[in-house]
Amino acid sequence: MTPLDPYNALITEVEAQPARPGPLAGLRLAVKDLIDTAGVRTTYGSRIYADHVPDRTASAVERLVAAGAVVTAKANLHEFAWGVTSQNPWFGTVQNPHLPGRTTGGSSGGNAAAIAAGLADVGLGTDTGGSIRLPAACCGLVGLKPSWGRVPVDGVFPLCPTFDTVGPLARTVADAAAMWSVLAGAPLPEPQLEGLTVGILRRPPSVGGSAAPPANDAAEAYVERLEEQGAQVVEASIPDPPADTWPLFFHEAATSHRATYPARADEYGQNVRGKLELAQAVEPDDVDEARAAVAAWRGYRPAVDLYVAPTIGVEVPPVDCDELEVRLQLTAFLRPFNVLGWAAIAIGDLQLIAPRDEDVISAALAWERAASA
C-alpha cells in the first residue's frame, strides 16, 4: 500500500499521455493487469511474470485509447484472474473503499477499488465466471460482461478461452455503455424497458458438478420499479446444461498454464496452485462431454426479452474470507452466463441478462435514466 493507493488497487502506475479527442476523452482508465500494454509492466497478478513487459497492446485497450481514454494504471487482481476475492499473494489483497473490511470481489477487484476510491474514472476488466460483475456489486459500481466473442480478447492472458470476455467497469451505466460502444464498434442502443417481458430469475441454472444452487428472492426488490417503467415481469427459469461443464473449464485453464505448470508450480500462490493441481486430473472423455454440453446449451433461446437477477444476492464476505469457501456462492448467478455466452450487466446487486449486448445495455440505460429523473 502507498499513501496514494491505500487499497492495493494498483500494481503499476502509468505516466498519463495527452488524451485524444473522442467519446471517452480524458477519462482515466485503469487496465486490469491481465491485459497487455506495450512498454508497461504487465504481471498477470503473478510472481512468474512480475517483470514482464509486453511489446504490444491488447486491441481492447487500443480502442479505448483511440477514443480518448488515458491509461493511468494497471490494476491489481486475483492471481492469473482465477479467484473471486482479489487476495493476491504477491501484490497484496485489494481493499474495498465502498465497504471497508469486505472483499472487493474478484478477479477484477483492483479495477473496482480504483474507481470506487477515485483513483480512476473507468476500468477495463475480464470476466470468465463473474470477474467484472462481482467486483462491481461488491464496490457499488456498474460492470458489463459482453456476450462471448463481441469484444476482442487478444493480448489478454487466457483463463478459459471458451468463457473469457473483456468489458468495462464504471460508476454509471452511461460510462460503461460508452466504453462498450467503443470496444464493440457498435452504436449505442436507445434506452428501453417499456414493453419488454422481463423474467425474474429466482434460481440460477447449474453449470454442473455440485448440487443445484439454492433459490434466492433478492431480485424481487427490483420488480416494482421495472413495472413502473413499463416492463412486464414474469416468473422465469433457465434449463440446466445437459452435462457437467466444469471439465471444460479446468481443461482450458490447465492448457493456458501448460508452459509454467507444473514446471514452475512453486512460483504459484497456494490458492491457484491448488486449482491447477485439480485441473490436471480431468479426463478427456469428460472434457469432450462438457464441450458438447456447452455447445448445446448455447443454442437455448429464452422466451423472455430479458432476465433480472441479483448479481450476488448475499452479504459481501469479509476481506479475509476463505476464497475456496465463498467462490461458488458468490458466482451462482454469474458463472452460468459465461457458459451460455450471454451478456450481463451488474448495477450494484441488480443484474440484467440477455443473449444480446444491446438488450441489456438498452434496459440498463433506461433503468439509470429513471433513477436520475
Q: Which residues are catalytic?
A: 32, 107, 131
Distance CA 299, CA 167 (A): 23
Contact present, 351 and 344 (Cβ < 8 Å): yes
Contact present, 340 and 297 (Cβ < 8 Å): yes
Q: Please give the backbone phi and psi of residue 311, each rounded to the nearest 5 degrees, phi first.
A: -75, -50
Q: Please give the backbone phi and psi of residue 86, each rounded to the nearest 5 degrees, phi first.
A: 55, 35
H-type helices in 145-245, by residue range? 173-184, 223-228
Measured CA to CA in angstroms, residue 342 lies from 117, 163, 189, 358 at distances of 30, 10, 17, 11
Laid out side by side, the sheet with 70-75 consists of 10-13, 70-75, 28-32, 122-127, 165-170, 142-145, 343-347, 350-354, 306-310, 197-201, 232-236
Residue with cell 462431454: 289
Distance CA 122, CA 63 (A): 14
